[in-house]
């Protein structure tokens, strides 16, 4: 197992290096010279570009990047988006807001998704199941920003139950902050609840019709006992990694939802880092490295999680 | 006794209740101005700020300039008044005569001031108030300004705003050399000549002809020349690069060699003119002692600024309405240098910010919220510099709210005090009593590429039976102008904008000393009327009694005439062999992206509009459009590099007080959208003091900039040397306006740059606040936060909103 994990981490680092190198080359190929501005001394801008090494050969810039950022872990200073500020510091300052809203969303949507899914499976082909399935189709099909505007309009504007925007400040665990996040949690959560409901219902329905459950019932177990002890546990094998992958993916943030509800998180940063001329290289590369690592790391964790849920699954076993 | 005791106890109890309420502090009356932005400031350092939001959201409130704009006494115009300074700058040039400051001995006029003929450099003494303080109470002295200006120009920092001290009107002696000392920079011929003090390119070549030559292939040609293969490669990358040629060889290549042959859009003189800005050599800036910089402190309150270029009156004061003061101690703490790269985080967070303006920063969360409160250590509050009711706002809260729909809901819920109306809101709110319209200073245009060679090349690429060269026919461009309903275009793209009929809008000031707006002058009005062909209809007993009546009648839309022009253009194109009868005209329109609603709606409108407009003409079914929506930052130069045939929604902003300087964008190939109009050979006749002179458009512009140029008397053929700088000479202001009007007309007559719409905006004002003036008074607007007053305190406002069910009606 340990050998397997080490091998996977080694491979992950190789893939990471390849991806980040490709990102580096591609971002450097984007237009980097700012447009001529009337009355501006463009030579001054050129001097800055020269000092930053933008005019050096690409390979030399790449070596500097690897040495300074990948090995030295110094991701530099923002030159376009947050001029003069350490990109890592800005990123870390924004990360908690993103994590917070997404953790709340998971806490809200996972139990609901599971409950609705189980209920629909148990009530298969009844009006309750049809109602849940129809609602699931609606919520899965409609993008989250549509809910966001609807939630904002009805709950924040018309009913005035919640503030329009997330509360300012860094007291993330206060009640006021939580309340201010409810509209965003609902908007983000509807889709997840629907997705999880659909998946749970499908998996559980399949397991509930298995022969081993019939055997369990004939042995004298109650319906509740067979469902909880046998059916649910077995159906969790594919569902749990799905929850885990969503949980790991949440830190990438949601650009649109964060924008709509004034959540000062990391969601919009990636797109913005490419929207300037020249791109904000340091920010883009930090974000690329971070998300690549998260993506690759989550792959390993999800694979390992199969073994934890179902002991029959053995990772790296040659037998 | 019992009664007495009871009475006493009752009295004590009453007092116990009453005294604390008497002694308790009055609740603090707060007037909070709530605002929301869709883009948030990130750097409000006076050295590094880059966006207007950086200024308007933070820097403007935490800083104080030497001089500032204010309403005039009548409240119907503006004036510039001292703020951090005391009185007007004093000319102390006589004290700085000598080589050190490049000020020769001069002949004094009756007032003891140096005469124009002998020197252009001037030394000015600015006396500062003695009560200037940082927000923590530390005094600010003239020495702080000297230190700050040196830090601003620190060559290792390459501060974004450093050029504020040497580009434009205000050129501080040695500022540019100081900012670039110790560096080697690609320096254009024009700049190199200035640095070496040589008059001609030949002299420069004599000195540096054997050094390496540099140029930007993409910018100059949009193509790269392979000197070994002696052929053009068809591709170019941006950026100034070394060539295998010496500087002398490169100049020859550019003006008379293969490069010169490539530049079909200019004659020999034009190529030489372009070369001044497009060819480079390396210049190493020598080290310079800080004392050589033209700023000095004589005492704590006396600051000397030595300027290279003549600057006086309004423009001198105007130059000091911007400020570059930093707290040296904090600034140095915020700086760091790694691998030879200096960065500084001053003015990026609460901790790195210190105020010396009317407000101070007390809360900041990136991309979330800014809170400013009154800075009690600012001299202006106690001195009531702007009157008793000024700065009533005690707190300013600015939030980041990216979605307009959210901003509108927050505004209606009383949580914001202003809301900038969007296109979709205009139906409901355009006629609201709370809607305020504000005119901007930009005119956006539709620009065409009329360069024959470039169009031929693009036409070949487009394929068989595709035509683009019809764009060289003036009648076609006229038809495009007359065939566009500007009002409908504005409604489709940005309903607050207004149709425009000239290069400059209504906010451009021709004579800032007298607050004369250019568009209000007779010359400017006549230019518009002449261009739109209404001259013969103006006068008593005619269709339009006055010029204003004629201008008010303009729509810029004449479909009937447009159809005639389309037919005429088609006939000319066929007759001249530019087009075959089975050809289809295909115009490639460039836009910066495919996501902007303005450009998407604009493109759709243009396509539909012209498809309809050519119906019934010989071009019916033969006028098509295509779009390149990938131009991004290359949008502005796309026409110049022949990537597209047409742009729309382009224009220039800024230089509101200097339309003469701004005119460079229409005559300089560095800035022109369409550089195929060679302003060095396009001759313009202008009557000055009753005599008609002729000179190139470029020369006329140089004359306005104060340079001596040759003008030919149209009648006698005699050549005179003249310049029309901004000075107080009798009649000069009128002459300059006349020249500007004639130049504006010359550009309009080309039909390359066709005005479409003037920049304007509309906003809803909340019931909580009142503006100082109902009308927009440039540049004061409606008084802003400085003069804003409140109908309700914060507590009263909350109660008011609650009373109305939490949603207010602004329709």
pLDDT digits (tens, 9 = 90+) for B426-449: 999 999 999 999 998 899 999 998
On whether both A122 and A173 belong to a single domain, the answer is: yes
Residue A317 lies in a domain: no
User: Confidence class of residue B119 from pLDDT cuts 50, 70 and 90?
Assistant: low
Q: Give the distance from residue B184's alpha carbon to the nearest chain A alpha carbon, in angstroms.
A: 8
Question: Which residue in the set A36, A83, A156 is minimally distant from B43, CB to CB?
Answer: A83
On chain A, the residues whose CB falls within 8 A of the CB of B369 are 168-169
Domain boundary (A38, A71, A104) is at A71
Same domain, A59 and A119: no
Q: What is the pLDDT of residue A173?
A: 93
Inter-chain touch B166–A277, beta carbons under 8 Å: no
* pLDDT 10s digits, B343-375: 999 999 999 999 999 999 999 999 999 999 999
Give the single-character DSSP code of B466.
E
Question: A229 and A167 in one domain?
Answer: yes
| Weakest mean pLDDT among B270-274, B277-281, B550-554 | B270-274
Please report whether residue A159 resides in a domain.
yes
Q: Are residues A217 and A299 in the same domain?
A: yes
A129 alpha-carbon distance from chain centroid: 30
Rounded distance between C-alpha atoms, residue A167 and residue A178, angstroms: 9
Domain ends where: A11, A39, A71? A71
Which of A36, A44, A52 lies closest to B341 in CB terms? A52
**Could you tell me if B182 lies within 8 Å of chain A, comparing CB atoms?**
no
A256/A146 same-domain check:
yes
Same domain, A161 and A60: no
B509 beta partners: B517
CB-based contact A260 B634, cutoff 8 Å: no
Q: Are A138 and A279 within one domain?
A: yes
Asked if A303 and B658 count as a contact pair (C-beta separation under 8 A), the reply is no
Q: Do A180 and A33 belong together in one domain?
A: no
Taking only the tens place, the pLDDT of each residue in B703-719 is 998 888 999 999 999 99
Provide the 10 A C-beta neighbour count for residue A128.
14
Query: Using an 8 Å Cβ cutoff, are B325 and B144 in contact?
Result: yes
Alpha-carbon distance of B729 to B737, in angstroms, equals 14
| Residue B395: burial class (beta carbons within 10 Å; 0-12, 13-18, 19+) | middle
Q: What is the pLDDT of residue B115?
A: 57
Q: Domain range spanning residue A219?
A: 87-309
Which residues of chain B lie closer than 8 angstroms to A44, CB-CB? 158, 160, 162-163, 179-180
Task: Calculate how close chain A gets to B411, using CA atoms only, in Å.
Answer: 10
Token pair 């463009």 is at which residue?
A: A42
Task: Mark whether A271 and A198 lie in a shared domain.
Answer: yes
Residue B491 parent element (H or E): helix B486-493
**pLDDT at residue B110 greater than cutoff 80:** no
How much is the average pLDDT of B599-610?
96
* Residue from B52, B406, B651 whose CB has the most chain A CBs within 10 Å, to mutate: B406
Residue A316 resides in a domain: no
* pLDDT of B802 over the 80 cut: yes
> Contacts of residue B332 in chain A, CB cutoff 8 Å?
none
Q: Give how far B738 is from chain A: nearest CA, Å.
A: 24
Q: Is residue A216 part of a domain?
A: yes
Contact with chain A for residue B745, Cβ under 8 A:
no
* Cβ within 8 Å of A, B 642-671: 652, 654-655, 661-662, 664-665, 670-671
Residue B123's pLDDT band (boundaries 50, 70, 90)?
very high
pLDDT at B190: 86
Are A36 and A101 members of one domain?
no
Q: Which of B14-28, B303-317, B768-782 has the highest mean pLDDT?
A: B768-782
pLDDT tier, B114 (very low <50, low <70, confident <90, very high otherwise): low
Q: Give which of B428, B467, B384, B515 is closest to B786, Cα–Cα.
A: B384
Are residues A284 and A230 part of one domain? yes
**How confident is residue B3, by pLDDT bands cut at 50, 70 and 90?**
low
Shortest alpha-carbon distance between residue A33 and chain B (Å): 7
Asked if the ipTM is above 0.85, the reply is yes
For residues A109 and A240, state if they share a domain. Answer: yes
pLDDT at B20 over 70: no
pLDDT for residue A253: 60
Nearest CA in chain B to A64: B339
| Inside any domain, residue A215 | yes
Q: List chain A residues with CB under 8 Å of B632.
A: 31, 277
Considering its fold, how many domains does chain A have in total? 2
Between B104-113, B308-317, B662-671, the lowest mean confidence (pLDDT) is in B104-113
- pLDDT (0 to 100) of residue A222: 87
**Closest residue on chain A to B182 (Cα):** A47
In a domain, A114, yes or no: yes
By residue count, chain A amounts to 319
CB of B52 within 8 Å of any CB in chain A?
no
Establish if A80 belongs to a structural domain: no
Taking an 8 Å cut-off on Cβ atoms, the answer to whether B158 and A34 are in contact is: no
Does some domain include residue A200? yes
Please report which confidence band the pLDDT of residue B312 belongs to, taking 50, 70 and 90 as the band edges: confident
Token duo for residue B576: 């001249």
pTM of whole model > 0.90? Answer: no
CATH, residue A105: 1.10.3720.10
Stretches where chain A sits below pLDDT 70 are: 248-253, 314-319
Comparing A301 with B211, the larger pLDDT belongs to B211
pLDDT digits (tens, 9 = 90+) for B216-268: 887 778 788 999 999 988 777 767 889 999 999 999 999 989 988 887 766 77
Higher pLDDT, B86 or B681: B86
Final residue of a structural domain among A71, A97, A122: A71
């Amino acid at each position: 197992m340990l050998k397997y994990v080490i091998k996977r981490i080694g491979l992950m680092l190789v893939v990471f290096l390849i991806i980040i190198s490709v990102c580096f080359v591609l971002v450097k190929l984007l237009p980097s010279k700012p447009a001529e501005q009337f009355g501006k001394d463009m030579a001054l801008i050129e001097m800055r570009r020269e000092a930053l090494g933008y005019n050096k050969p690409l390979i030399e810039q790449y070596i500097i990047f690897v040495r300074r950022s990948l090995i030295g872990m110094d991701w530099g200073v923002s030159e376009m988006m947050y001029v003069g500020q350490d990109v890592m510091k800005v990123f870390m300052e924004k990360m908690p807001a993103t994590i917070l809203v997404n953790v709340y969303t998971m806490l809200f949507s996972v139990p609901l998704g599971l409950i609705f899914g189980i209920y629909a499976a148990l009530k298969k082909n009844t009006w309750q199941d049809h109602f849940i399935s129809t609602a699931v189709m609606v919520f899965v099909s409609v993008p989250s920003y549509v809910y966001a505007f609807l939630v904002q309009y009805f709950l924040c504007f018309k009913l005035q139950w919640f503030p329009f925007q997330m509360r300012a400040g860094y007291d993330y665990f206060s009640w006021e902050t939580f309340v201010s996040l409810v509209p965003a949690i609902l908007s983000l959560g509807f889709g997840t609840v629907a997705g999880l409901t659909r998946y749970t219902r499908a998996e559980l329905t399949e397991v509930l019709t298995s022969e081993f459950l019939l055997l369990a019932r004939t042995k004298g177990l109650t319906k509740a006992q067979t469902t909880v002890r046998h059916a649910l546990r077995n159906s969790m094998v594919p569902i749990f990694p799905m929850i885990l992958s969503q949980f790991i993916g949440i830190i990438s943030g949601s650009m649109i939802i964060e924008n709509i509800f004034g959540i000062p998180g990391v969601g919009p940063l990636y797109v913005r880092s490419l929207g300037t001329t020249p791109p904000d290289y340091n920010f883009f590369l930090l974000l690329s490295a971070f998300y690549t690592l998260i993506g690759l790391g989550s792959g390993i964790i999800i694979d390992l999680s199969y073994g934890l849920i179902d002991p029959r699954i053995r990772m790296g076993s040659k037998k | 006794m019992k009664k007495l005791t009871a009475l006493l106890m009752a009295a004590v109890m009453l007092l116990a209740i009453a005294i604390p309420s008497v002694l308790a502090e009055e609740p603090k009356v707060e007037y909070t101005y709530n605002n929301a932005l869709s883009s948030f400031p990130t750097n409000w350092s006076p050295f590094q700020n880059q966006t207007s939001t950086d200024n308007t959201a933070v820097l403007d409130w935490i800083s104080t300039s030497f001089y500032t704009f204010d309403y005039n006494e009548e409240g119907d115009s503006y004036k510039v008044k001292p703020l951090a300074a005391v009185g007007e700058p004093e000319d102390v040039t006589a004290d700085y005569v000598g080589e050190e400051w490049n000020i020769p001995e001069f002949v004094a006029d009756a007032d003891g001031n140096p005469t124009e003929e002998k020197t252009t450099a001037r030394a000015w003494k600015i006396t500062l108030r003695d009560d200037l303080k940082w927000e923590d109470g530390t005094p600010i002295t003239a020495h702080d300004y000297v230190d700050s200006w040196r830090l601003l120009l620190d060559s290792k920092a390459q501060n974004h705003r450093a050029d504020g001290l040497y580009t434009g009107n205000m050129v501080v002696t040695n500022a540019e050399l100081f900012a670039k000392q110790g560096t080697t920079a690609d320096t254009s011929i024009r700049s190199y000549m200035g640095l070496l003090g040589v008059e001609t390119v030949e002299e420069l070549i004599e000195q540096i002809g054997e050094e390496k030559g540099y140029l930007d292939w993409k910018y100059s040609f949009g193509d790269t020349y392979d000197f070994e293969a002696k052929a053009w490669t068809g591709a170019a990358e941006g950026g100034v690069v070394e060539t295998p040629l010496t500087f002398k060889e490169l100049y020859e290549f550019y003006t008379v060699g293969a490069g010169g042959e490539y530049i079909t859009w200019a004659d020999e003189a034009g190529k030489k003119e372009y070369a001044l800005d497009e060819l480079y050599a390396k210049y190493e800036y020598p080290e310079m002692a800080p004392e050589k910089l033209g700023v000095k402190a004589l005492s704590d309150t006396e600051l000397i600024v030595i300027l290279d270029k003549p600057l006086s009156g309004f423009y001198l004061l105007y130059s000091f309405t911007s400020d570059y003061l930093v707290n040296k101690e904090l600034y140095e703490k915020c700086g760091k240098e790694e691998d030879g790269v200096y960065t500084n985080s001053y003015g990026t967070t609460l901790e790195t910010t210190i105020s010396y303006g009317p407000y101070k920063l007390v809360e900041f969360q990136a991309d979330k919220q800014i809170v400013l409160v009154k800075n009690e250590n600012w001299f202006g509050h106690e001195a009531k510099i702007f009157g008793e009711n000024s700065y009533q706002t005690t707190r300013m809260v600015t939030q980041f709210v990216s979605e307009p729909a959210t901003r509108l809901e927050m505004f209606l819920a009383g949580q914001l005090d202003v809301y900038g109306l969007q296109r979709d809101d205009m139906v409901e709110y355009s006629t609201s009593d709370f809607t305020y319209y504000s005119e901007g200073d930009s005119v956006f245009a539709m620009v065409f590429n009329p360069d024959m060679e470039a169009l031929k090349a693009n036409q070949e690429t487009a394929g068989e039976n595709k035509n683009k060269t019809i764009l060289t026919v003036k009648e076609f461009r006229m038809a495009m102008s007359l065939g566009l309903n500007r009002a409908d275009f504005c409604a489709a793209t940005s309903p607050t904008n207004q149709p425009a009929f000239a290069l400059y809008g209504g906010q451009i000031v021709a004579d800032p000393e007298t607050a004369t707006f250019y568009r209000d002058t007779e010359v400017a009005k006549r230019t518009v009327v002449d261009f739109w062909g209404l001259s013969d209809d103006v006068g008593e007993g005619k269709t339009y009694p006055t010029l204003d009546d004629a201008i008010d009648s303009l729509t810029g839309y004449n479909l009937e005439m447009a159809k005639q022009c389309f037919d005429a253009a088609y006939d000319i194109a066929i007759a001249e062999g530019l087009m075959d009868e089975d050809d289809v005209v295909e115009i490639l329109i460039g836009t910066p992206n495919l996501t902007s609603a303005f450009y998407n709606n604009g493109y759709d409108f243009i396509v539909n509009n012209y498809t309809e407009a050519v119906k019934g003409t010989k071009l019916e079914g033969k006028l098509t459009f295509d779009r390149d929506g990938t131009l991004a930052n290359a949008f502005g130069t796309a026409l110049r590099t022949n990537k597209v045939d047409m742009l729309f929604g382009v224009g220039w902003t800024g230089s509101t007080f200097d339309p003469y300087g701004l005119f460079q964008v229409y005559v300089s190939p560095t800035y022109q959208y369409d550089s195929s109009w060679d302003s060095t050979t396009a001759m313009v006749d202008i009557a000055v003091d009753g005599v008609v002179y002729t000179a190139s458009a470029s020369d006329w512009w140089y004359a306005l900039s104060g340079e001596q140029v040759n003008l030919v008397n149209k009648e006698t053929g005699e050549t005179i040397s003249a310049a029309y700088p901004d000075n107080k000479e009798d009649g000069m202001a009128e002459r300059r306006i006349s020249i500007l009007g004639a130049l504006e007309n010359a550009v309009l007559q080309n039909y390359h740059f066709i005005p479409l719409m003037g920049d304007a905006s509309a906003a809803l004002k909340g019931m909580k606040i009142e503006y100082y003036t109902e009308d927009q008074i440039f540049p004061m607007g409606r008084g802003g936060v400085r003069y804003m007053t409140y109908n309700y305190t914060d507590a009263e406002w909350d109660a008011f909103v609650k009373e109305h069910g939490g949603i207010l009606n602004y329709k």
